[in-house]
Structure 1
C-alpha cells in the first residue's frame, strides 16, 4: 500500500497541448529518441531519457501535424471544399510516460528516484495510464509505490482501470485495486471498468472486479448493462467460450438477464443477433424473455433470422432451434417469403423454422424469392420444399406439431425425457434433416 507520507505527491498536474515543449519535435534529441523507439533500442532510449533530457519532468513533443504552419502542404480536395476538416494534433509526453509505456523498469526507477512526478498528465495521459494500457505490471507497481493516483483520468475521461482491457493487463488491474482504484469509477458515458472488460469477454477481470464490489447491473449512457455489453460483442467464433464464461460470472453475481438498453434490446436480443448458441442457452436457462420485443419490433428470433446469412459458420439454425424450443413466437406466415429471400443461403435455418408450423402454404412467390445460385447450391432441399406447394405435410410432421403444441415452451425440458428412440426426440426438437416432407 502506498505510504501516507507520499499523499502530497498524489496531486494531479495537467499539462495540455498549449504547454510549450522542452524538447520540440524538430530537435535533435526528439529525432534521436524517435529513432531509438522505432528500433526498440532499449539501451539507447534509457541513455537519452536519463542523460539528455533537460529535467526528469521535461515535456517532449513526439509529433505535430499542425498543417496550417506549412503553406506547401498538399491538402485533400475534400478539405478545400469544406466537406472534411483536419484537426491540429500535437503529441506531448514525458520521460516517465515513455519509460512506463515501453516497460523500461530501470529507467522508470531512475526517473522516480530523481523526483519525477508520477501524477503529471502530459498531453492526454500520465505514466500510470501508459503502463496499464501496455500491460507493464512491474512499471505499474513501481508507479503505485511512488504515489501514483489510480483514480486520475486521461483527457478522454478514462481511469487506469478502464485501460486494463486485454487479458495481459490482469495483474495490472489487481495492483490498481490493491492501491484503492475505484472499481465503479465512471467515464462521461457512464462506462464502468466492468463494462469495458465484459465487452472484451475478459472473464478473469470480470470476476476480479465483482469480488472487489463492482456493481453488476450498472448502466451506461445507453442504458446498457455489462451483461448486455458482453452479449452484444460475442460475435467471433474464436472468443465464444470467453464471453460465455464472463456471462456466467455476471449472472452468478446477480446480473439481470432481462435488462434492456435504450433501444429496448435485451442481452438475449444481442446474443441471438450474434448466433451465440451457448450464450442464448445460458440466458434462456436463467429465464430470459424469449419473446421480448425491441423498439424496432424485433424479437430474439427475428434477430437471428436477420443475421443468419452472415453467421453460417456459427450454425444459426441451432439458435433458431433453441428459441423455438423455449416457446418463441414464430414469424408471421405471410412474411415467410422475406425469410426465404434473406436466408436462402442458410437452408437449415429455413427448415427449422418451416417445421415449427403445422401447415403453411407454399406458393409460387416462395420459388421466386430464392436466388437461382442458392437454389442450385441446395437443390435437394429446395425441391423438397417447393414440392409441398401441391401436397399436405406428412402425418409424422402433424404428430410432431401436436406434441410440440402440447409441451409449449417446455419442449426443451420435456421432450428429452420422453421414453423413445433418440432419433425421434431429435425429430420432435426440430433437428434438421436437409429435406422436408
Structure 2
C-alpha cells in the first residue's frame, strides 16, 4: 500500500475532492480553449481562459492547518497547480463589535480572506512560499487588501521578502489602502526588509494615498533611528508633509510618549535635524515639534529642538505655548523631572507660566521652584497651594513655607539682577552662560539652580 503523505481525515478528503473538481474544470477549460483557438483570434489558450477563471474559496481546516503551521509536506500535497496556489483562503474569527440595537459589545463573526502565499510569507515559511510560487502563485495578489510582500515586511520576515523580490514581486506594490511594503517596515527587526526593498527599487518618498504619509514619517513616528538613517541615505525628503501638514520631525516628537521612550525618539529626531529638518515647522492645529515634545514630557528632546532653533514661545491654534503643554503634561507623565524641561524652556526665551497654571506642578516642588524663580515677584499662593497633597507638604514644608512667605513680597536684589541678566541674554541664556567667565556656583544660580527654598 502506498504511504499517505498525511492522515486521511474528513477535512483532507474534502480538500482532495476540491482538487479533483479543479482538475476536471481545467480539462474542460483546455478543451474549450482549443476550440476557440481554431475559431477565434490567435492568442494563447491559457491567457484567454484566465480572463474568466474563478477563484475558489476554501475554509477547509486541513488547508488552514498546513498553511498556518508551515507543514511543507502537506503544502506540497495540497497545492500542486496554479489554481490551488491561488485559491482564496477564508478564516472566520469572533471579534468584539458594538451593537447599537442591544446597547453593548457583542462577539461577531468576521470573515477574512487571503491567499496561501500571503499566509506563508507573513509567517516566514520560506520553503512553503517557494513551493507556492513555483506552482504559479500570483506574487502581487492583494486578496484581503495586502500583497504577500506587505505582510512579510509587516512581520519583519526578511528571508521571505528576499524570496519574493527574487521571483519578481513589485517593490512598490500598493495595498488597497494605498501603502507600499516600505510603509509596513515598522519594527526594529524590519531594517533588513527595508534594505532589500530599496535595493529592489522601492520609492523612498512614496506617499500613502490618503494620509500622504511617507516611510520616513512611519520610521520617525516609531523612533526607528536606523530606518530613518537608511531612508535619508537613499534620498528621503525631510520636508515632505502629510495631509495633516506633519513633517517627519513632528511625527517623531509626537510619538515620544514619555521620558522612558524619549531616548530613541531623540536619536531619530537628531538624524532628521542633521539632515536639515526645520524645528519650527508647525503641523496640525499649528502644533510644532516642540509642542509635541513638551506635551509628552521629553525634556532632552525639547532641549535638542531648542538648540536647533525651535521657538519656545510660539502659541498653537488653541493659544497654548510649549510651556503650557509642559505644565498640562506634568501629572500625566509619571516618573520624570519636569524641572529639567521648564529650565530648558526658560533658558531659551520662554515667558513665565501664567500664575493660574502653577497648580499643575504644585506637587512637584523642584519644578515649582524653577517656575517661581522666573518671576520678579512670587505670585500669590492662592493659585496653587490648595492643590498640594498634605503628605507632600509635610515632606517639603521648608520649601512650601518659604514660597508662601515670599508671595507678593519684594525679591532680593541678587534675584532681580539674575533676571536682568537673563532678560539681556534672551533665548541665548544657556549657551551664553557656558561661555561667561563665571564661577560654577554663580553660573548655576543664573540658570535657576534648584536650592530647596525661595528667598
- Asked whether the equivalents of residues 378 and 406 of structure 2 are also in contact (C-alpha less than 8 Å), the reply is no
How far the C-alpha of 1:30 sits from its partner, in A, is: 4.3
| Among candidates 298, 305, 325, match of residue 276 of structure 1 | 298
Q: Residue 365 and residue 31 in structure 1: after superposition, are their counterparts in 2 closer, same or farther (change >3 A)? A: closer
392, 397, 401: which is aligned to 1:379? 397
Structure 2 counterpart SS, 1:161: helix
- 2:47 corresponds to: none
Matched, 1:239 2:257: no
Residue by residue, what CA displacement relative to the aligned partner does 1:219-253 show, whole Å, maximum 9, x if unpaired? 11110100000011112434322212211111122
Higher RCO (Cα < 8 Å, 6 or more apart):
1
Matches within 5 A, 1:80-99: 80-81=101-102, 89-99=110-120
In terms of mean alpha carbon deviation, does 384-393 or 121-130 score higher? 384-393
1:128 paired residue among 125, 130, 149: 149
Partner secondary structure for residue 231 of structure 2: helix
The 5-angstrom pairing of residues 37-436 of structure 1 reads 37=68, 41-42=69-70, 45-53=71-79, 55-63=84-92, 78-81=99-102, 89-187=110-208, 188-332=210-354, 336=355, 338-364=356-382, 366-389=384-407, 391-436=409-454
Alpha-carbon distance between aligned partners in 2 of 1:312 and 1:393, rounded to the nearest angstrom:
33
* Alignment check: 8 A CA contact 1:312 1:346 kept: no
CA distance in 1, matches of 2:374, 2:309: 22
Task: Tell me the SS of whatever aligns to 1:259.
Answer: coil
Residue from 11, 22, 29 that aligns with 2:57: 22
TM superposition shift of 1:422:
1.1
Where does structure 1 lack aligned partners over 5 or more consecutive residues?
A: 1-18, 68-74
Could you tell me how far 1:82 is from its partner in structure 2? 6.4
Residues in 1 aligned to 2:205 and 2:428: alpha-carbon distance in whole angstroms: 39
Give yes or no for contact 1:339–1:350 (8 Å, CA) kept in 2: no
**d(CA) in 2 for partners of 1:365, 1:302:** 15
**Runs of 4+ in structure 1 displaced over 6 angstroms?**
82-88
d(CA) in 1 for partners of 2:334, 2:422: 27
TM-score (norm 1): 0.84
- Measure how far apart 1:391 and its partner are: 4.6
- CA distance in 1 between partners of 2:66 and 2:436 (Å): 73
Q: Distance between the aligned counterparts of 2:448 and 2:375, measured in 1?
A: 11
8 Å CA contact 1:56, 1:114 repeated in 2: yes
Quote the offset at 1:177 in angstroms: 1.0
Q: 1:57 to 1:287 in 2, by over 3 A?
A: same
**Pair 144,392 (structure 1): closer, same or farther in 2 beyond 3 Å:** same
2:359–2:383 Cα contact (<8 Å) kept: no
Please give the alpha-carbon distance, in whole angstroms, between the structure 1 residues aligned to 2:389 and 2:358.
9
Cα distance change on mapping 1:401 and 1:64 into 2, 3 Å: closer
Provide Cα deviations, 1:355-383, integer angstroms capped at 9, x if missing partner: 01111343445433434354334322211
Q: What is the DSSP-based 3-state SS (H/G/I as helix, E as strand, rest coil) of the residue aligned with 2:357?
A: helix
The total of aligned residue pairs comes to: 398
RMSD of aligned C-alpha atoms? 2.5
Give unpaired runs (5+ residues) of structure 2.
1-53
**Distance change (3 Å), C-alpha of 1:77 and 1:312:** closer
Q: Is the 8 A contact 2:122 2:157 kept in 1?
A: yes
Residue range with higher mean Cα deviation, 308-317 or 78-87: 78-87
